[in-house]
Amino acid sequence: MIDVENEIFSKVVSDLKLKYPNVSYASVFTNSPPNYPFVSIEEIDNFIYERSEDSSSNENHVRVTYEINIYVKDNSMKKTEAKNILNIVDSSLLGLGFSRISKIPSQGDDETIYRVVLRYSGVVSKNYEIFRR
């Protein structure tokens, strides 16, 4: 299986830390973050890109999808701060060759927390090249 999750996670976290050194992060979904702002970066899908599978069923490419959850709490500018974090994540993943497939603001029961859910998709070769299509 072609697996680039650690590399993608490390790149996004590195980019985030440049502007948000106190951001907390995880590689799995976290419903109740321990600290804020918090970003989870998780690969939620990885499947063979059938158009490049050879006759021996070897995978040459996979389509991957990443879900990013951004949480900001107790800040009068929490929506603005979430958008600033979103822009860093977006720039990082688009720069790698991914396409953003959704951006969904999500308000839970706790009105002090602002959350945004993002999803990105791309095709990754066995040489770790990333393609939008």
Each residue's pLDDT tens digit, 46-99: 998 777 766 677 788 999 999 999 999 987 899 999 999 999 999 999 999 999
Tally of CB atoms within 10 A around 53: 13
Residue 9 has pLDDT above 70, yes or no: yes
| Average pLDDT rounded to a whole number, residues 23-35 | 94
What's the confidence (pLDDT) of residue 121?
Answer: 96
The more confidently predicted of residues 130 and 24 is: 24
* pLDDT confidence of residue 76: 85
Place of tokens 């860093």: 88
Phi-psi region of 25 (alpha: psi -120 to 50; beta: other; left: phi over 0): beta
Q: Where are the beta strands (DSSP E) in 1-133?
A: 24-26, 38-48, 61-73, 99-106, 113-125, 130-131
- pLDDT of amino acid 107: 74
Q: What is the pLDDT of residue 133?
A: 59
101: left (phi over 0), alpha (psi -120 to 50) or beta: alpha
73: Cβ–Cβ under 8 A, 6 or more apart, which residues?
36, 37, 112, 113, 114
Res. 16: pLDDT tops 90: yes
pLDDT digits (tens, 9 = 90+) for 111-132: 889 999 999 999 999 988 888 6
Tokens of 115: 């959350």
Domains, the chain, with CATH or none: 5-131 (3.30.2000.10)
Summarize the chain as % helix, strand, coil (round to 5): 30, 40, 35
Q: What is the CA radius of gyration of the chain?
A: 16
Predicted local confidence at residue 114, as pLDDT: 94
Backbone angles phi, psi at 17, to 5 degrees: -65, -25
Global pTM value = 0.90
